[in-house]
Each structure stands twice: as C-alpha cells, then as structure tokens.
Structure 1
C-alpha cells in the first residue's frame, strides 16, 4: 500500500518564534495539553489562523498522567451524569476507529462482593442524600453495564457484558473468598496518550494550515493591545495581537486568568490521581490481556492492567491546592499497594516492585460536592469578557472534561469561537483519523511483513514502529533502514531518537524520556538509558560537556523526587561521587 502520510519537514524553534512574533492571529490557544491541542486542530482545520503556546512541554500535565483508559465512565452513572457517559462512549468508539495504532479494546473484569449493595447509590447521590463512597453490588453494576450495551448497540461498540460466577471468577483470578461473582465488559486502553497530542499537531502541519504551536513559551501578560510571551529556552520575548484567547490550561486556568485585569472568580479545583508502574512478573502473567477494575477498601475505584511490560496500578483522588506541587506521596503508594493486596490477598507485592510513579491533577470545576468522586466530570466553556475599556481580548476558558472526550470538548470550544467570529464550520472531525490512524490497514501483520522485507528491519522492529506511529511507520522504517542500535536504550535506535528530537520539539531530557518515548513507563529508565539520551540531545542542541552534565543531573533529581526512582538506578549517587572526585 502507498503511504497515506509522510514525514513532515521539521521547523526550527527560531523559525516558529519568527512566525509567531508580531502577528495578529485570529485565536491564541494557551495550553498544549489534550484539550488545547484538540481545539487548536479544530480551529486550524476550519481555516482559522491560530497559534498555540504551552509554558512547559506539550502534554506534560494531567494529559500525560491519566490511567491510560479510554472509557465511558461507568461510575459516573452514580452521579447522574448520563449525557457524559453517552458522549464518552461515542468518543471511545471514535478513538478506536480513528487511532487504532494507539487505542485498542480492553476486556475489564469487575469483582463483586454482594448482589444488591449500592443499589440506591445513584438515586441517593443524585438527590444529594449520600456523599460517601459505598460498595457496589451485582445489581447496580448490571444496570450500568446494560446501559453501556443498549447505548452502543449498532454503533461499532464492543461485545456485550457478561457475568462470571464466583467459582469462575476465582478460577480466572485469585480474588478474595468474599467475591460472589464478577462482571466482564469492554472499554478501551491507550498505549501512549502523549502521541495523540503530537499527532493532532502533525495533522495541522500536514494540512498546511495557518497555524503554529510551540512549547516552553509562557504567556507573561495579556493586555489590551497585545499578548506578551517569553521563550523559556533562550529568554526571547515576542508579542502577538489575537482577536480571541482560548485558555486551555486545565488545572492552571485560574493562574492563567490572573494575567487578566480584573481577574475572574476561581473556576477550577484540582484532584490528584497517582499511579504506580510495577515490575511484577507474576501479576503481569496473571492479568494477561485483562484489566481488573476493583473497589479499594474505602469503596473508591482502582484499576490494574499490563502496559509496556509493566503493571499499571492506580489511582488516588485527592484535592490539591497547587498543581505545580504534585507528586505521588508515600501514603498514596501504600494506599494503592494495600488495595492490591486486598483484592489479591495471596499476592506478594511490595515497594521493591515499583519502577516508576506518576501523578497529575484533574482540572475539575469548582464544586460544593462533599467528596471528590461527586465532582462532575463533564466539560463546558466560560467566557471572560473584557471590561468597558477593553483591557484584554475575550477569553474562552475550557473548564473540566475527561481525557476520553477531548475531541468533543475541542469541537464545542471551536464552535463557540466560530460563532463569535461569525464563521461557519467547514469540516467535521468525528470520523477524521488521527495521525498514523490515516489509512491504517485491516491486516497490519501482512503490512508489517511487506515493510520488513522492503527495509531490512526485523518484523519485531517494524511492528514496534507501527504500534508507535501507525501508518507513519512505513516512511520512518525506510528512513531508519540500516539504523544503529543505541547502547543502554533497547527498542530504540540512534535514528529514531534523532528523529524525535528533530521533528517533535524535544527540548529537555524529560520531554524525551517521559513523553516522546515509553522508556520510563516500561521500567527501562536507568543510568545507561539516561546517558544515551543525553548524548543524542547534546549533539542535537549543541550542548557542551557542562550543559549536558547540568541537564542530566537535574533530570536525575527530578526522577528521584517526582517519579520514585532509586538514586543508584538512575546514576545519581555515582554522579555525586564523580563530582566529588573531580573536585
């Protein structure tokens, strides 16, 4: 088959800044997470001149800290959020069709302790008469899954739900003896959510739209005449004069709005979700291709499934005041591991099995709900209008939302902007493939064989490229033919790492290790891997030995402080010893 997409020509950072400086785009999007990328794509593909600025790296906040699920939100039925669940199920099915290289069906198993417990959860919570989490029996789970089945019937959904007897459930998993039965149903799993954001940007670039997106570009002032932005890489300051600003900064929406005069009332409140990546061969083999969706001892929902050779387990749901100071704390690790031991009482699991931890902040709307689980997960837009003296452009704030519904949220925000501009929508993204989902073959294995034969790469290597890049794997495989292995970084080559740095706006080691690759989630981020990536990034960015050493040291410290890395494993203690010896 011919390549439906090709490798885009990289634009340098200086070129992007030059294209943004002094211009008057119709819309400036602030925030390069999943919602910002979505509305950027929607506007650009509808002919609106648009710029996007992200103060950190793309997808570095909540958009990369999700549970890697693409789902309807079964538990949201308890809060009466029926429209949200319907929309999420539609968007889940669209992602399965539009990004098949990154999203796949995931069979889910739900252990259940009773038959009728929790039957009044939904009506009582809907009426505000219950706030605490409570256990869910077979009857309410059955009702919820029946809703799933009815709504997705004829819409390209997954197989219908089923129930296993207690004996059959315990034959499949070593559940507690109190488990009476287990429900099974299908949702979706996303292997690399950060790539969705990257590919949304690539869609815009390949379309030749009048649009530019840049990371590490912080908005410092939103004034009446212009918006001032500062490049956090080299300190350059630029200005632009947008007609409309879209605030898509998630948990940072209120902080971004502080740049307005006067600043509006708070709109968001964050809740933290923390996850663990476990290197546990017994648990990995036990889970296979299934996810276990279970209630922790306090009734809160947790999940576990295999991802990149590790086992992902999570998550927590804790209110946090400051999204910039979020990490998985020791008590959260204990909470997650205790829940795992509770659902599988015979399993030996400890802190020693943890290879990586991550946490993010859900940008939920300000709410008077008594518990975090009752805060609505839907999304809506809120305009912040300028005062009479036109102190700033109109600002559209994207409030709330769940990862699965990013396309629908971006569509909603774009429609609000188009209406304000008096423009008609030109195109619809509901059936539009995302990035490497364009032209994805019905028989990927046969296609993998053809590419392997043509390029000389192994079938395993080509299969990995297809999993990462979809149909972009074909031109990449040709580009990587004769590639060189990268010591310390199995599964990646010199050519692939250099491609990511050159084309996907990699500026720091964190960008490369945590978001453009799956090295960290796969438990392979050790001292040798860090040295290998630092070498390639230093060459590409012209770092001297001192700059390379500083970057490496800073990232090692971040891995220990924020991601649970053992200092020795990532080479931090050896680095310290080397510095002492050098002195």
Structure 2
C-alpha cells in the first residue's frame, strides 16, 4: 500500500498548479506559516525536499524558552515575545510542551557586570562569566515579562549550603544557585507534523507535500521534483515564501528566474551539536531539572534528562554548507569538557554516548567574530524585484523554534496584505494535534486516565505511555489498536505492531527514518539495535508491499545515515525475509 496521505496531496497538487502561495521549506517556521495561511482560507502549497521537521527543526536543544542570555544583548522584544510564545505552547500543546525547572550554578557574586553592560551597549561581543547580581537582574526581568499571564513559578536563589545539599556533584567553587522555570518539548518533530495533519483535516485548499524539492524556475513557474518518483510538476504561484532555513541563499539562487546576478547573502548559519549520554550518576545528579551553566569560555551550555538519558549541548560554530552536518569529534570533546567543568566528579566513558545530533541555525548573515553575539531574532525580507521573475519572494530569516507561531503570523499578515485579504482567525488559542481536549489540571488528567483505562481495558502504564506520545489522539489510536490482534515489539515492548502500523498508515511516512528518527523516539532514546530496526522494517515493508530488494536497500540507507549523522554504528546483517 502506498503512502496514501502523500498520494492524495500529489493528486490535489496536480489539480491545482496555481496556488496563491508556495512555501518552500517544511521546517517549523514554514509549517507555522502554512497552518496560519490555511486557517485564513488561502490556497497555500507547502513543499519540503525531505521529511517535515527533518533539518534544524529536529535538532534543537528541546528547550522552549525565552532566551535568558539575550537580555544582556538588549533584545528585550525578542525575550518578551519568546516568553509569550512559550506560554502559548504550554497552553496549546500541553501533551508535548511541559514546564521545566532550570538551575543555574553561580560561581561568584559580582562578576560580569561590566561585560554585560558593554554587551548591552553593543561595545563588546565577547561572552563572559555572569555573577549572581547579573543573573538576578536577568531573572527579575524574566518574571516581569510574564507577570500578566503567568504559566510558571517565579525564580528563587539558593545559598551555597542549600545548593550542595541538592547538587553535591557540582564544581566545588560554586557559590550559590538560581532556579527558574522555562519549558521543554518532548517530541518537536511530531508537534510540527501534527500541525500539518491538523490542516489536512480542515476543509481548505491547502496542500503539504514532503520529499518534494524545487528543481528550477523560469521566473513565471516553479518546477518541483518528486524526490520519490523523480516526476516533475510545474506550478505558477502568486507568491513564493522561502522558508528553507540555512538553505535560504541556495534556494534564492534556484528562484532567480534567469537573473544571473546573485541575491545578496541573507543567512550565515552556525552549527549546534548535542550528545545523548547514558550515565546513571549523571542522570541522578541532574534529577528532574535542567542545569543551565557556563563553560569556562563563557558560552552557555545545558543538560537535562531526556527519555531516561541525559541530553547535553551545545556548540555554536560557523558553517558554510548545511548539508548532512554531524557532531564532529572536536565538538564532542568540547561538550564533554564543559560537562567535566560543571560536574568534575562525574566521568563519561566513550561508550556512554548513545547518540549525537546536529543542526544549523539559520541566523541572519553577520560578520560578527563571536557567534554567540549574533541575534536569534527573526525577520522577513523580500527579494528585490526582477524583470525575469513574475512573483515576489519573501524570505523567513532566523528565528528560534519557540517563536515559530508568532513568526508565521507576522509573515501571514504580510501575505494577506499582498492578497488584499483579511485575517479570519488567530492561532494563539488554537490547540495543536493531541493538545486538543488535553486536561491540564492534574485532577482532571488523572480522572481522564482512569476513564480511559476503564473503557479500553488497557494496562495503565501502557496507557500513560501512549498519552505521553500522542496526547488526546491516543484515544483514537487505542480504538485502532483494538480492531485486530496486537503484539508488543520483541526488541522494544514499549511499542506495539499496530501502533507502528497506525503511524505508517496515518502519518505520512515515506522512509524508514521517518519512523525511527521522527515519528518515534526509538533512535534518540538510544535504544536502536539491528533486531529492532528489522522488526520495524518488516512492519513497514509489509504495509508498503516492498520486495526483498527494496527492503534491503531501505535498511542499508538507514544504517548508513545512522552512522554518518548520529554516530551510531550497528552491524549490517541481512534483514529477515519479507512476508509481503
């Protein structure tokens, strides 16, 4: 059976090759804009050359935050907007976005005041150590910005004695600590996918197709290439939005429409890499909090528990080619060195690094010598008009994952002005996917669990796992799972055969990596084995009707990607025969 969701979108696309808006890039910013425009009734087409949320949008630190450190750069508007958007996500996607207590170890009281002032005035870019006074000021502003609609508790400080009672493994030079709340996202890729799926369930002309790239443009039409079949489709959009992140300049080149003069460089990406570590001592030391700390060079790093392991990051390195980035050895060493600085008693062995991931931040081009000083704000710029191009090209530059909704709304308003259309609704109060009807009150949540358990007859632990993965959509999934005999996976009993089959049938899955890297946590949790890969592959091959040659090829492609991009090397034994 083919990917029915994608096949339907392709059929719709061939019947409507004149969309009002073509969005190129299916990362979180492109999806946020797509969702907003669709809700306004705009016939919008979104294309993504790989899978939805498969680039930088899948490589974030899993933080949904205001950006405490941006305050010393004077970016008050960005921090205020980020905190507002964090709170909106806590309300609209409570199944994936959750409050996270965050502790900052403080090494002295007064340092950093002068450097923070110079950075605020734009007279210095160099990061420096931040003492208790600077941190206190920043956290006070943090609390002030969210005073009218507070979703999390305010900050507090702990003295040295209290700090070491709670964090005995910290560096002995720590003088005190500060704890505040931000948020984290459990399944960022799924959250993006859910917005695409939400649009598909509405009565709109909007279309979204993954594995569809821009091949060329003659200035009037844009030729799209189906990366699965190789087929090319020509569309004539009224407006084009370039939301390709770190690939913006490359995409602009393809959209020039015969104009040989290159567009001005808009993006200067920086690479951020992370490690997933399995070390029981470190996990116990972190507890259920994030540690937000300074490395010796003044750069901010983070670590927190993630799917039973510890996520640690990140680096911030300029990079010219965003294709197939990976965590290099020197980045791994840098992250481990930063970890050894804040927790000097804890030793990480090489085999405790289960998984690595990297992404490129699509920051606005800057000649700044310090990458940490480059703004994380977002902007929308329009390519200069060209006699060789009939349609305007709007470029979505920069932005934090946290602010995708606000960024999308701002760009949508520009597009609505061009189309002479009025806004029909706002997305700030519309739940996302499994966040709809998801009880936020603890008592209501427990009552819901109890009711679901009674109606489904399902084990409560299993039920809670499904709700953690799918939110309120777990109810319909449970109904699907009970339509036929279901079995737990042998290699990972936390997932079942029909759960994965439902993902394959309903969630626009094209490749094996779509399931293992993005629709589930099987890879990033560090639990992959050849046996598990083969189990999942057999389910997909049977569902798709793949022969042995296609199945073997899919396996080899995934193992190669896993090794190259995520530093996970598994034995490449032959897969089991497919029972098609």
> Could you tell me the TM-score, scaled by structure 2's length?
0.95
Does residue 186 of structure 2 align to residue 196 of structure 1?
Answer: no
2:417 is aligned to 419
- Which of 216, 221, 225 pairs up with 2:220? 225
Q: Matched residues in 2 for 1:472 and 1:431: separation?
A: 19
- Which of 527, 530, 535 pairs up with 1:532? 535
Q: Matched residues in 1 for 2:95 and 2:74: separation?
A: 33
1:435 is aligned to 433
> CA shift at 1:388, angstroms?
2.9
Q: Deviations over 1:416-448 (max 9, x none)?
A: 100111111000111111111111123222212
SS in 1 for 2:362: strand
- Which of 118, 121, 124 pairs up with 1:124? 118
SS in 1 for 2:254: coil
Contact 2:324/2:565, CA 8 A, preserved across alignment: no
SS in 1 for 2:113: coil
1:245 is aligned to 240
Contact 2:225/2:233, CA 8 A, preserved across alignment: yes
Contact 1:440/1:470, CA 8 A, preserved across alignment: yes
1:42 is aligned to 36
Does residue 383 of structure 2 align to residue 384 of structure 1?
Answer: yes
2:231 is aligned to 236
> CA shift at 1:507, angstroms?
1.2
- Which of 513, 521, 536 pairs up with 2:516? 513
SS in 2 for 1:267: coil
Q: Deviations over 1:300-338 (max 9, x none)?
A: 111111011111000000001100041001111111111
> CA shift at 1:112, angstroms?
0.7
Q: Deviations over 1:63-118 (max 9, x none)?
A: 00000000000001111111000000000001001100001110001001110111
> CA shift at 1:543, angstroms?
1.5
The total of aligned residue pairs comes to 563
1:4 is aligned to none
> CA shift at 1:510, angstroms?
1.3
- Which of 24, 32, 55 pairs up with 1:61? 55
Q: Deviations over 1:203-249 (max 9, x none)?
A: 21222221111110011112333211111111111121110011111
Contact 1:55/1:217, CA 8 A, preserved across alignment: yes
Does residue 458 of structure 2 align to residue 460 of structure 1?
Answer: no
Q: Deviations over 1:465-513 (max 9, x none)?
A: 1111111111111111252212223211111111111111111111111
Q: Matched residues in 1 for 2:89 and 2:448: separation?
A: 22
Q: Deviations over 1:165-223 (max 9, x none)?
A: 11211111111111011010000011010111111112212222211111100111123
Aligned pairs (5 A) from 1:439-450: 439-441=437-439, 442=441, 443-450=444-451
Is the deviation greater in 37-46 or in 203-212?
203-212
State the Cα RMSD in Å: 1.5
Q: Matched residues in 2 for 1:535 and 1:407: separation?
A: 38
2:207 is aligned to 212
Q: Matched residues in 1 for 2:427 and 2:545: separation?
A: 40
SS in 2 for 1:364: coil
Aligned pairs (5 A) from 1:100-115: 100-115=94-109
SS in 2 for 1:269: coil
1:6 is aligned to none
Contact 1:451/1:477, CA 8 A, preserved across alignment: no
1:3 is aligned to none
Q: Matched residues in 2 for 1:146 and 1:71: separation?
A: 15
Aligned pairs (5 A) from 1:192-341: 192-261=187-256, 262=259, 263-341=262-340
Q: Matched residues in 2 for 1:74 and 1:297: separation?
A: 18
> CA shift at 1:299, angstroms?
1.1
SS in 2 for 1:289: coil
> CA shift at 1:386, angstroms?
3.5
Q: Matched residues in 2 for 1:346 and 1:243: separation?
A: 60
Q: Matched residues in 2 for 1:123 and 1:325: separation?
A: 38
Does residue 93 of structure 2 align to residue 99 of structure 1?
Answer: yes
Q: Matched residues in 2 for 1:310 and 1:74: separation?
A: 25
Does residue 407 of structure 2 align to residue 409 of structure 1?
Answer: yes
> CA shift at 1:276, angstroms?
0.4
Q: Matched residues in 1 for 2:51 and 2:390: separation?
A: 26
1:7 is aligned to none
Moved >2 Å (runs of 4+): 10-15, 120-123, 126-129, 222-225, 260-263
Q: Deviations over 1:237-287 (max 9, x none)?
A: 112111001111111111110113334111001100000001112211222
Is the deviation greater in 98-107 or in 443-452?
443-452
1:399 is aligned to 397
Q: Deviations over 1:523-553 (max 9, x none)?
A: 1111111111111121222211111111111
SS in 2 for 1:433: coil
Q: Matched residues in 2 for 1:477 and 1:140: separation?
A: 50
Contact 1:223/1:392, CA 8 A, preserved across alignment: no
Unaligned 5+ runs, structure 2 = none
> CA shift at 1:123, angstroms?
2.4
SS in 2 for 1:365: coil
Q: Matched residues in 1 for 2:446 and 2:114: separation?
A: 48
SS in 2 for 1:396: strand
> CA shift at 1:385, angstroms?
4.1
SS in 2 for 1:139: helix
SS in 1 for 2:142: helix
- Which of 22, 28, 36 pairs up with 1:28? 22
Q: Matched residues in 2 for 1:349 and 1:34: separation?
A: 33
> CA shift at 1:414, angstroms?
0.4
Q: Deviations over 1:546-571 (max 9, x none)?
A: 11111111211211121111x3xx22
Judging changes above 3 Å, is the alpha-carbon distance between structure 1 residues 421 and 553 closer, same or farther for their aligned structure 2 residues? same
> CA shift at 1:575, angstroms?
4.9
SS in 1 for 2:143: helix
Contact 1:222/1:392, CA 8 A, preserved across alignment: no
Q: Matched residues in 2 for 1:76 and 1:503: separation?
A: 40
Q: Matched residues in 2 for 1:325 and 1:369: separation?
A: 25
Contact 2:5/2:507, CA 8 A, preserved across alignment: no
Q: Matched residues in 1 for 2:562 and 2:365: separation?
A: 32
